[in-house]
Amino acid sequence: MNDGAMGSLVLFPDDLRPRKRLFGCVASKLEFKDEDGIDVLVTLNLDNEGKLFEVDSWKVDFKPLVRIPDDF
């Protein structure tokens, strides 16, 4: 995803079924500190049909993700 290098990604972007995929709900979420100490919020989102949709990663200062820690 074009998210400023914060780590988000669309799941199954080549799904060519004749429907528009829309956000449905948050399935899971977590928070960790990036290597530079800044909080990162991550959500696993489902589409409006309950299928995997995206992993949304948001660094609270909007800067690029440095590194996901090994021990989060």
In which residue are the tokens 């948001």 written?
A: 58
Q: What pLDDT score does 24 carry? A: 94
Name residue 29's beta-bridge partners. Answer: 43
Structure tokens at 38: 């800044």
pLDDT at 1 over 60: no
Question: pLDDT tens, 3-53?
Answer: 666 667 777 656 556 567 889 999 999 999 999 999 999 999 999 889 888
Q: What pLDDT score does 4 carry? A: 65
Question: pLDDT tens, 39-63?
Answer: 999 999 999 889 888 999 999 999 9
Q: What pLDDT score does 16 carry? A: 58
d(CA 23, CA 26): 9
